[in-house]
Amino acid sequence: MIKITEILPNPKGKDANNEWIELTNTSDIPANLTGWTIDDSEGGSKPYKIPQLTIPPQTATTLNKSQTNINLNNSNDEVRLFNNTNTLIDSLSYGKSEEGKSYAETRILSETGEKSTFHWTTPTPNSPNQPLYRLEGIITESPQIADEFFFKFQPKNSNKILTITFTDPPLDFETAQITLIEGTPAKLLISKPSNTEFSLIDYKIGAPGAPESSGTPETSQATHIPKPHSTPLTYFALPIIIIVLTITITLILKNKRVL
């Protein structure tokens, strides 16, 4: 199976011939692409017919603009791949690009499993794209400055404290100081350049100090609210009864006198 796995539409500096399109053979047999066609759906470039190309199994091959003459827009364009019978095999569309970043198929790993998506990332032509990791947990130390900007983060269900570095984008140090507050729950998307390096790609935070669950803490105590004081009914009833009896007896005696 042949897929468009990475493109660089907006290289740093002048685009010139530095744009490229990466095709990957994900099958276990060689793929002959001779006579296949690549174009951009926007129609700004003439379709490129591949003269002769065989991609080995599980291998990526990059086609440079100097070969294809395909001029990719910096925003709102689509790359399409057709086989030699003009059947659409794959396509990849994108909106606004990031200068110097490629739009690459990326595996995202998390506790719930794995999924593939396209993401703006560091270009890796002719090489497998590095996976990203989605973590959920708590910020344990607000952003600091050493050799670079960083903050501390503890993933959910883990005793490890990770040092996460970041640059602009996704956020500058001033924004990080008022966003990545110690004790804040957060969901992070990070890259892992090495076993000890972690770099922030994207983030989503909750309210500072918000609990991870809605359970009632074992140490909590119920608040005592006194009930309103209630007066026994007989306290009011007895005087009323006495008054009524007095009036009744008085009326009876008065009637006897009249008779």
**Domain 131-205: which topology?**
OB fold (Dihydrolipoamide Acetyltransferase, E2P) (2.40.50)
Q: Which percentage of the chain shows pLDDT scores above 90?
A: 65
Q: Within 13 Å of residue 85, how many CA atoms lie on the same side as its CB? A: 2
- Decide if 11 contacts 71 (C-beta within 8 A): no
252: confidence class by pLDDT, cuts 50, 70, 90: low
Given a cut of 70, whether residue 193 has pLDDT beyond it is yes
- The arrangement of secondary structure in 2-106, i.e. its CATH architecture, is Sandwich (2.60)
| Residue 115, helix vs strand vs coil | strand
Residues 182-202: what's their mean pLDDT? 93
Given a cut of 60, whether residue 243 has pLDDT beyond it is yes
238: confidence class by pLDDT, cuts 50, 70, 90: low
241: confidence class by pLDDT, cuts 50, 70, 90: low
Residues 241-250: what's their mean pLDDT? 62
171: confidence class by pLDDT, cuts 50, 70, 90: confident
Given a cut of 90, whether residue 223 has pLDDT beyond it is no
**Separation of alpha carbons 118 and 241, rounded Å:** 88
Given a cut of 70, whether residue 215 has pLDDT beyond it is no
**Spans of all domains in the chain:** 2-106, 131-205
Given a cut of 50, whether residue 221 has pLDDT beyond it is no
pLDDT of residue 259: 45
Choose the weakest-confidence range: 16-25, 82-91, 235-244. 235-244
Q: What share of the chain is helix, strand, coil (3-state, %, to 5)?
A: 15, 40, 45
**Residue-wise pLDDT tens digits, 101-148:** 999 999 999 988 999 999 898 899 998 888 999 999 999 999 999 888
Burial per residue of 52-61, b for 16 or more beta-carbon CB atoms within 10 angstroms, e otherwise:
eeebeeeebb
Do 2-106 and 131-205 come out as alike in CATH topology?
Answer: no
pLDDT of residue 42: 73
17: confidence class by pLDDT, cuts 50, 70, 90: confident
pLDDT of residue 59: 96
- Decide if 72 contacts 9 (C-beta within 8 A): yes
Residue 116 φ then ψ, to 5°? -110, 140
Q: Is 166 exposed, middle or buried (0-12, 13-18, 19+ CB in 10 A)?
A: buried
Q: How many CB atoms lie within 10 A of CB 31?
A: 19
Given a cut of 70, whether residue 242 has pLDDT beyond it is no
**Residue-wise pLDDT tens digits, 38-90:** 999 877 789 999 999 999 999 999 999 999 999 999 999 999 999 999 999 99
Q: Which percentage of the chain shows pLDDT scores above 70?
A: 78
pLDDT of residue 232: 43
pLDDT of residue 246: 66
Q: Whole-number mean pLDDT of the chain?
A: 83
Structure tokens at 132: 């990203």
Instruction: Give the residue among 112, 35, 121, 37 at the shortest CA–CA distance from 79.
Output: 37
* Cis ω before 30 (30° cut-off from 0): no
